[in-house]
Structure 1
Amino acid sequence: MGRRGPGGPAIFEGPVQRTARGAGFFRLPPRNDGGPPLELFIRSSEMHGAMNGDVVRVRKLGRRRGGGGQCGEVVEVLERSTTRFVGRYFERDDRGWVRVDRRMFDGPIAVGDPAAKGARPGDQVVLEMLSFPDGSRSGEGVLVEVLGRRDEPGVDQQTVVHEYGLRVEFPDEVLEAAREAASGFDEEIVAGRVDFTGLTVVTIDPSDARDFDDAISLDRLDDGGWRLGVHIADVSHFVQPGGALDREARLRGTSTYLPGQVIPMLPELISNGLASLQQKRVRYVLSALIDFSEEGIVRGVEFTRAAIRVTRRFGYEEVSEILADPERFHGRVAAPVRELLVDMHRLSRILRSRRFDAGALELHLPEIRIELDDQGRVEDVHQVVHDESHQVIEEFMLAANLAVAKELSDRGLVFLRRVHPSPSPSKLRQFATFVSGLGFRLDRPQSRHALQKLIDSASAGPLSHAVNYALLRSFKQAEYTGRRDGHYALAAEDYCHFTSPIRRYPDLVIHRMIAAIATGKRPRGLGDAKAVRLGRSCSMAERRSEQAERALVQLKLLHYLAGRRGETIDAVVVGVEKFGVICRGTRVPVEALVHVKELDGNDYFDFDRDELTLTGRRTGRSFRLGDPVQVKIVAVDLDERSIRFEMDRRSGLTRRSDGGSRRRKTSGSRSAKRSDAGTRKRSRGAKKRRGGRGGKKGRRGGQR
């Protein structure tokens, strides 16, 4: 978040976010009315060399972008977020050069004498920037590591690791601290903790998970109610505030789940070992015990430090089969465990129903997973099924997170909240206009109940993509902060992350407060300034981790598709702009802009901002957000990490305008050259799409 800088009321300083196409977003300071801070949009031409995460000085401009958002311009880079970059090495004029991946800089970077570090032309290398390029000079750097040929196994992974500055190896002092913490752990000693080792307790995770940080117990009460036990790995027992483990965990902020590799927040001795809730092993936990009425109303909450022994570890697929027919597993799964799973399913359905009755939202967007072979190459791409076994765990994680946030809020503490600001009224009105063009009626777009009803009604039909992608574009990004801003999608006033301390630093911070409460001590709040700093660093670490995951998936998919040039694939329109449509492969989720000039060389396309459509004046051929289309793979550029699609001539519905009402709201784009082409400005980048996804982490309520 920015702060006011010297030079007048329109000057601000702080970190900038740079999109893949070079534009930027800058978060302004908090508003005096207590509302969520606003953002400045910065054109790529006005970033002036600022990179993602750089601390910059910006000036707020008088103009606004198309959607009404304010614009800004970088006037100075104050601090670089990184000086290391990855790219392809080549030689020219007896000098070594590196063209940085994704065309981050307009020209190549000089790196001195040829063959430094044994580099060969075409090698993927890491460079340290000595001087950044500006308008008057090219950049200069020095080679620090040669990764190898692009098509060699593991080079794509190392490329992303270096590009995003991910900390893979743990320093010796951190590993020593982990060994020291481990030496003090004894499974036979549970003194000072409530002994829950006799309870029937299960974990439910993806089949390939290794860090198990949550387990569930559930008992029926005499009055028909329930006592839910959400038992979370007590990482705070091993990681003391300010120690080497804590400092490293805070720097990393989160575990990063790359295809084929997990980069943990904590050394594996703790993350996959002593803290992980392994089957049949005694483990320390911080337990949230929540009493519900038969109708799912919270009647009481208690927090305690305890010890458990997990009775049975399950994968999601196993639980789905058991819930479908519990008796079929007689003899394979113990009766108490089967009964527990059935009761968990029953309570989760009650909680889920109450949550949506209260106004919670859930988008229906596909999640894609890639499978790799032994060489790290894409072997298969498939859609992840989010069934009721996932929903069981999601509801219980949400219940625990909500209970913890309420406890801390009721005590008046400043803590690290997970907030999701409400979308702007103008964005929701625009969404209502868009779906009306699809044939849906949305009279109250500000009503979450009305929005969820619309999502559900569209979910089984061909317009599901259109509705969900359009609503996603209306949402703001969730973040960590000390500010009480609520969580829009969850319809919650108070929310935080508590359930994943092995892999998220914010959860560990919350654990320390709850551990104090559980032991009868007075918890210490963070203080406003610390909450802002910590929230910002954790939010940036989360985004860096997600961006790295997406970047490696994209890179592997581009390698996968490089040999399929000329093929036609199914896709969906995920963005519509005046200059073209952004298409995303349905089975292979890579995105590319199909420029308006490539849609039809003999037509002129009108852009309707409200209905998010491009419509040809002559043919009536139209492309709308969410439309299914077919595109041909024309080219794959590994330097730029991009793919070029060509729209199939059979794609695009015929939607002819019936009058001037649409024409008033449209602006034209000519697909073929015209005599006045030189006077017509065109944008060069696509809008940033917001939203989240994940593998192990993405289907947990705590991930929101």
Structure 2
Amino acid sequence: MAQQLPTVEQIVAVLREEPMVGSRLRASLGLPKKQKMEFKQLLADLVSQGVLKRTNHKEYQIGDGEPLEEKREKRLKKLAEASDGDNRRPGARSRRQTTDDKSTRVRRGVLHQTGEESWIVTELDSEQQFEICHRRQAPGKEGEVISFTLYPHPRLKHSYLAKVDHSAEILNVSWSEITQKFMEESNLPKGFSKEIQDYIKTIKAPTAKDFKGRVDYRKTTILCIDPEGAMDHDDAISIERTEDGGYKLGVHIADVSYYVPEGSALDQEAMERSYTQYLPWTAVPMIPDELSSDICSLHEDVDRCAHTCMIMLDKNANVLSWDFHRSIVRITRSLTYQQAKKLWEEGDKDMQDLAEVTAKLKANRTKEGLLEFKSTELGCHFNEAGEPTDIYPRTTDISNSWVEECMLIANNCCAKELKKRGLQGIYRIHEAPDTKDIMELYYMYPNLFQGAPVMLRDLGKPRSGDTNLNPTAFKLYEHLVQKAGDDETLMNRILRSMQKAHYDSNSFGHFALNWQDYSHFTSPIRRYADLWCHRELARKGKEISAERKESVIDVCDLISANEIKNMKVERQAIKVCSTWLLKDRIGDNFEATVNGIEEWGIYLSINDPIAEGLCRYRDIAGDDFYVYNPDQGLAFGKRSGRTFRRGDKVMAQLLRVDPLRGQVDFSIIEKLSPEPKKQRRTRRDVEEDARNYNERMDRAEAAEAMGYLSQPDDDDRDDGMPAFLSAGMRGRGRRGRRGSDMDAPSFERTGRAARGRADRGHSSAAKETRATPRSRSEKPRKGKVRTRRR
């Protein structure tokens, strides 16, 4: 027979001596273990009634007599009253914020010094004055504007001290000082040495002496199509019809190698820089302006030295033959992309021919499959003083694709010519995606893989022999890109699962183009790889076997590393512009979109102005604790159950900006998107989970068999920084030519900068799968459904 439970008086009498945990209290009262659950329920009732209370150490002690429900209601009422008053932001306080609303609002004010170490700040909106706590270092200069928050005075009740959230030095720094500091911290080169400048002064405009031995195309109609405002023009196109209905496509490129001797000081400097570095406000050229914008540049109605790739095409634009030679050109028409499109619409013959042949070239590429990634590149407008006025998404016209197709086919022919003649070429290679990265993409977005034409077990290793081409993986990625559609978030994740294209001394193939041979030939003014290939193609006789001044392997390593560095600088530069636009809007509210979630916070993007920032979990309004779930790519509140996913709309407040570093901090004050409805699980859902589980197991087995289940090193992982700015500002010219790089496909412009993961670390599902792979012989028992336990 069960022993009778103790009375309230008996329990209180024992706890009056000292607090106790439940098991010790039960033992003190002489209750057997079989009555453990009944006793625990009794204690829980007493806690809810306020008779007892439980400490953080799970010890019971005598309570204050106030029921728990009443305490909760009072607390919620107090928080609601705090959020309604003084026009403060709605909602409860964050778990790390004080319940006093005055301390959560970001304000702006003017600094005034009242003593040797005493300062006050006058708020701009209310003209109230607040004292700044004493500090040895001055918070700024007299009369400067700062941002600050308030916190309760430690001694004086109902009084507040101001906390300087940003130094006046950062908020009041000029744009020229920001750009100068950015250039210094990015280690961007300043000008050219005196030796190079002296050499440049000896170079004159080309004359008849420079044209000896060159093929003359001055009477041929040659078109130069570039972005508006471009200053360096390095490529031009000519189209001629042949008698058999085919085409004679000429791709004429500025002959920079003619003016940059191998091994010279200028050649060494160009190699060290590797690229022209394009920033929103300026460009740092690879070679001096006198060459890039004048003597080498293909200006209209001026004789220039060029390197021509003349390609013979049949009536369907299939390549019959090609020939590389030095030439003389005179540009007939220099157009912008918009002008070229308008002429095409008006029926201009030259534009019609160009559109016709490039459409056929693209159709030929499509026969073997085509990966087309849609990405948004950003630009910046500046006022007369040179300061940013707004960030805007760049648009592309159909005329952009005309130039791109011509440059692609010329680069393809260049790689084949380098191999045929046994030259030491530099090739652009792109490895097939690693199976580990594909599996991670699958765990994160399994819906993308629905209806895929191939299974992961059929992929094989990324490289087979001397080729990066993988038809099976290519078919899979065609499906993924088509499935992603216009969803930029999904498209960026697909791009991150791919390798980064780079340079190599061997033609191992370009996976995304699905071409075995590809190099860079069409932009020698701004890329060293193209300059190297021009120099190789110009070699004849004994020059082919002669020793080069530089090792081709070392050059490939250098320019590949510099490419990654330049991409990071370009992305950071556009962030500096966007933070400059926000520096006077601290404390303002913005409607924002969640575009990334990581273990340290939530990334938000806003549209006016276009910018991105981070909201740390401690800056989310409400008394909640947020947990990051990498398996589902979301953050959820343990108390409220509120979730944040990519694509959610929120109301955010701007807390801090740092224009010098391009950093923006937000707080989330309200979630605008409705919470997803919890759907009742049916038997069909359970069976679907079982099928998905078995499919994941099969994929894991395939990966294990191929040796792809090892954990990655920390150095191999991506930094997890989602980016609406991930599209690099890879330009085609000085100032106005900082548009999209037409001879570099979009996957090279927006792909991952390294072989990192799409998110930091593996998902929990991936870890569990790899830890306990299921054998093929293991079958679920009849009548039962195998499900994963989480």
Give the TM-score normalised by structure 2.
0.61
Contact 2:432–2:473, Cα closer than 8 Å, also in 1: no
1:209 to 1:531, Cα distance in 2 relative to 1, 3 A: same
Correspondence list, 1:144-293, <5 A: 151-182=173-204, 185-186=206-207, 190-293=211-314
Amino acid at match of 1:693: G
1:616 to 1:187, Cα distance in 2 relative to 1, 3 A: farther
Tell me what 1:468 maps to. 491
Q: Secondary structure at the match of 2:525?
A: coil
Contact 1:209–1:696, Cα closer than 8 Å, also in 2: no
Query: 2:208, 2:593 → 1: CA distance?
Result: 53
Contact 2:296–2:305, Cα closer than 8 Å, also in 1: yes
Correspondence list, 1:340-379, <5 A: 340-379=350-389
Tell me what 1:479 maps to. 502
Tell me what 1:392 maps to. 402
Tell me what 1:54 maps to. none
Tell me what 1:316 maps to. 337
1:612 to 1:187, Cα distance in 2 relative to 1, 3 A: farther
1:121 to 1:450, Cα distance in 2 relative to 1, 3 A: farther
Query: 1:273, 1:630 → 2: CA distance?
Result: 51
| Larger RCO (CA under 8 A, 6+ residues apart) | 2
Shift of residue 474, structure 1, vs aligned partner:
0.8
Query: 1:171, 1:374 → 2: CA distance?
Result: 31
**Larger Rg over CA atoms:** 2
Contact 2:650–2:673, Cα closer than 8 Å, also in 1: yes
Query: 2:570, 2:142 → 1: CA distance?
Result: 28
Amino acid at match of 2:295: L
1:476 to 1:447, Cα distance in 2 relative to 1, 3 A: closer
User: Which string of whole-angstrom CA distances, capped at 9 and with x for unpartnered residues, describes residues 389-436 of structure 1?
Assistant: 111111111111111112213344442222222221122233234443
Q: 2:731 aligns with which of 696, 701, 704?
A: 696
Tell me what 2:526 maps to. 503
Tell me what 1:637 maps to. 658
1:356 to 1:522, Cα distance in 2 relative to 1, 3 A: farther
Tell me what 1:547 maps to. 568
Q: Secondary structure at the match of 2:328?
A: strand
User: Which string of whole-angstrom CA distances, capped at 9 and with x for unpartnered residues, describes residues 117-150 of structure 1?
Assistant: xxx9999xxxxxxxxxxxxxxxxxxxxxxx9996
Amino acid at match of 1:687: G
Tell me what 1:21 maps to. none
1:496 to 1:275, Cα distance in 2 relative to 1, 3 A: same
Q: Secondary structure at the match of 1:211?
A: coil
Amino acid at match of 1:474: S
- The structure with the greater share of residues assigned to helix is 2
Contact 2:448–2:483, Cα closer than 8 Å, also in 1: no
Q: Compare 278-287 and 169-178 and name the one that shifted more.
A: 169-178
1:635 to 1:229, Cα distance in 2 relative to 1, 3 A: same
Query: 1:626, 1:206 → 2: CA distance?
Result: 33
Shift of residue 371, structure 1, vs aligned partner:
0.5
Query: 1:468, 1:626 → 2: CA distance?
Result: 14
Contact 2:251–2:406, Cα closer than 8 Å, also in 1: yes
Amino acid at match of 1:294: K
Contact 2:262–2:549, Cα closer than 8 Å, also in 1: no
Shift of residue 293, structure 1, vs aligned partner:
2.0
Amino acid at match of 1:369: G
Q: 2:604 aligns with which of 573, 577, 583?
A: 583
Correspondence list, 1:512-527, <5 A: 512-516=535-539, 523-524=544-545
Q: Secondary structure at the match of 1:154?
A: helix
Tell me what 2:554 maps to. 533
1:501 to 1:449, Cα distance in 2 relative to 1, 3 A: same
1:209 to 1:627, Cα distance in 2 relative to 1, 3 A: farther
Contact 2:239–2:247, Cα closer than 8 Å, also in 1: yes
Unaligned runs of 5+ in 1: 1-113, 115-119, 124-146, 328-337, 666-683
User: Which string of whole-angstrom CA distances, capped at 9 and with x for unpartnered residues, describes residues 315-338 of structure 1?
Assistant: 111112222x224xxxxxxxxxx3
Query: 2:270, 2:284 → 1: CA distance?
Result: 12
Amino acid at match of 2:731: K
1:621 to 1:527, Cα distance in 2 relative to 1, 3 A: farther
Correspondence list, 1:592-631, <5 A: 592-599=613-620, 601=622, 607-615=628-636, 621-625=642-646, 631=652
User: Which string of whole-angstrom CA distances, capped at 9 and with x for unpartnered residues, describes residues 621-640 of structure 1?
Assistant: 44444556554322213455
Contact 1:629–1:652, Cα closer than 8 Å, also in 2: no
1:392 to 1:580, Cα distance in 2 relative to 1, 3 A: same
Contact 2:619–2:666, Cα closer than 8 Å, also in 1: no
Q: Compare 273-282 and 476-485 and name the one that shifted more.
A: 476-485
Amino acid at match of 1:156: I
Amino acid at match of 2:676: T
Instruction: Please say if 1:326 is aligned against 2:346.
Output: yes
User: Which string of whole-angstrom CA distances, capped at 9 and with x for unpartnered residues, describes residues 629-668 of structure 1?
Assistant: 5543222134553111223411475264858969999xxx
Query: 1:122, 1:169 → 2: CA distance?
Result: 38
Shift of residue 599, structure 1, vs aligned partner:
4.9
Matched residues, number: 531
Query: 2:450, 2:605 → 1: CA distance?
Result: 24
Q: Compare 520-529 and 563-572 and name the one that shifted more.
A: 520-529
Tell me what 1:687 maps to. 720
Query: 1:276, 1:402 → 2: CA distance?
Result: 23
Q: 2:477 aligns with which of 424, 437, 451?
A: 451
1:260 to 1:122, Cα distance in 2 relative to 1, 3 A: farther
Q: Secondary structure at the match of 1:699?
A: coil
Q: Secondary structure at the match of 1:224?
A: coil
Q: Compare 533-542 and 212-221 and name the one that shifted more.
A: 533-542
Query: 1:277, 1:386 → 2: CA distance?
Result: 23
Query: 1:190, 1:319 → 2: CA distance?
Result: 30
Contact 2:648–2:672, Cα closer than 8 Å, also in 1: no
Query: 1:459, 1:200 → 2: CA distance?
Result: 39
Contact 2:522–2:743, Cα closer than 8 Å, also in 1: no
1:655 to 1:530, Cα distance in 2 relative to 1, 3 A: farther
Shift of residue 601, structure 1, vs aligned partner:
4.2
Amino acid at match of 2:179: Q
Query: 2:196, 2:422 → 1: CA distance?
Result: 34
1:628 to 1:483, Cα distance in 2 relative to 1, 3 A: farther
Query: 2:592, 2:425 → 1: CA distance?
Result: 43
Contact 2:594–2:649, Cα closer than 8 Å, also in 1: yes
Contact 1:177–1:244, Cα closer than 8 Å, also in 2: no
Correspondence list, 1:567-578, <5 A: 567-569=588-590, 571-578=592-599
1:364 to 1:301, Cα distance in 2 relative to 1, 3 A: same
Q: Secondary structure at the match of 2:481?
A: helix
1:639 to 1:166, Cα distance in 2 relative to 1, 3 A: closer
1:360 to 1:179, Cα distance in 2 relative to 1, 3 A: farther
Contact 2:312–2:320, Cα closer than 8 Å, also in 1: yes
Amino acid at match of 1:385: T
User: Which string of whole-angstrom CA distances, capped at 9 and with x for unpartnered residues, describes residues 331-390 of structure 1?
Assistant: xxxxxxx31211111221222232233233221121111101122221122111122111
Query: 1:654, 1:565 → 2: CA distance?
Result: 32
Query: 2:652, 2:171 → 1: CA distance?
Result: 30
1:532 to 1:525, Cα distance in 2 relative to 1, 3 A: farther
